[in-house]
Amino acid sequence: MSRLLEMPNARQGGGMNRLDELNKVLRKLQSDSPGIETCALISEDGLMIARAETVNMEETRVAGMTATLLNLGTRAAVELGRGVVQEVIVRGDQGYAVVISAGRGTLLLAVTNESSKLGLIFFDMREAIRALQRVL
Amino acid sequence: MSRLLEMPNARQGGGMNRLDELNKVLRKLQSDSPGIETCALISEDGLMIARAETVNMEETRVAGMTATLLNLGTRAAVELGRGVVQEVIVRGDQGYAVVISAGRGTLLLAVTNESSKLGLIFFDMREAIRALQRVL
């Protein structure tokens, strides 16, 4: 058994399971909140970790824009005396993009349609963040 | 009377009255919403038009950061397929910075403390925007 754990394949298998768990949390977030078109876990330096979506978007664009939003939010929070950034929200006439710090250098993004309610999105995203933190 | 209207002083006087009215709307927004520390009407190119505040902040920093937030919000809304940007919200652990398009190339900024409720801030800001639009 200890030899099996040392095999590269076994390690890869373990990695896949963790990623599967992250993807599962994101799929649940999306299926529980019908307004969420895309949700993704992204590193603060703009790299995609896991995602679930109904509408396909280019991965590097989504991840990069998420990190950019949090970077600017960080600067704005400091310059306007609001402390440490927790969330950045952009509302367009076709829906919301919400970025929340998910801890340990990760960000949770949700992109929703225009019929979504911000309060419910927050509620569902915070539930998801608790589940993601148990896996990370 | 028509000669009076052509005098530079009369024009300046008219301008002051309009600015007074804008400042009055902002002071009302701030006094009605005790959590709002600073509110300001800013042009999309980052110039201060009118403001009301309990906490003094450097004018160019506040105006520039507001325009920067809306510019990035515009880009994020387009790249993430959310249409035309309406609002950008940054929550820090010490409160919110909320930027809403106020029409005709202007932005309304509210900087609040951490005990503020986002729903009430939105409600009060939208009331203020209607009043500002009657003056602009």
pLDDT digits (tens, 9 = 90+) for B20-55: 999 999 999 999 998 999 999 999 999 999 999 887
* Min distance B69 CA to chain A CA atoms (Å): 7
- Of A88, A57, A43, A54, nearest to A70 (Cα)? A88
Asked whether residue A10 carries a pLDDT value surpassing 60, the answer given is no
Interface contact A94-B88, CB threshold 8 A:
no
* Min distance B40 CA to chain A CA atoms (Å): 13
Mean pLDDT of B106-121: 95
Interface contact B97-A77, CB threshold 8 A:
yes
Amino acid at B41: L
Sequence-ordered list of residues with C-beta below 8 angstroms from that of A102, at least 6 positions apart, any chain: A41, A108, A129, A132, A133, A136
Q: How many angstroms from the chain centroid is the CA of residue A92?
A: 19
- Of B135, B124, B76, nearest to B100 (Cα)? B124
| B80 vs A contacts (CB less than 8 Å) | 38, 57, 62, 65, 90, 97, 111
How do A85-92 and A36-43 pair as beta strands?
unpaired
* Min distance B131 CA to chain A CA atoms (Å): 22
Would you state the torsion angle of the CA atoms of residues B43, B46, B50, B51, taken in this order, to the nearest 10 degrees? 130
Of B57, B86, B92, the CB nearest to A92: B86
Interface test with chain B among A91, A113, A123, by most B beta carbons within 10 Å: A91
Both tokens of residue A111?
């992109």
C-alpha to C-alpha distance for A37 and A110, rounded to whole angstroms: 8
Interface test with chain A among B36, B79, B80, B121, by most A beta carbons within 10 Å: B80
Asked whether residue A8 carries a pLDDT value surpassing 70, the answer given is no
C-alpha to C-alpha distance for B43 and B47, rounded to whole angstroms: 5
Lowest mean pLDDT among A7-11, A17-21, B113-117: A7-11
User: What are the pLDDT digits (tens) for B50-93?
Assistant: 999 887 888 999 999 999 999 999 999 999 999 999 999 999 99
Interface test with chain A among B66, B68, B91, by most A beta carbons within 10 Å: B91
Asked whether residue A16 carries a pLDDT value surpassing 80, the answer given is no
ipTM strictly over 0.95? no
| B108 vs A contacts (CB less than 8 Å) | none
Reported in sequence order, the residue ranges of A7-133 that DSSP labels E, i.e. its strands, are 36-43, 48-53, 85-92, 95-103, 106-112
* Min distance B76 CA to chain A CA atoms (Å): 6
- pLDDT confidence of A53, banded at 50, 70, 90? confident
Interface contact A91-B85, CB threshold 8 A:
yes
Sequence-ordered list of residues with C-beta below 8 angstroms from that of B67, at least 6 positions apart, any chain: B42, B43, B44, B45, B46, B107
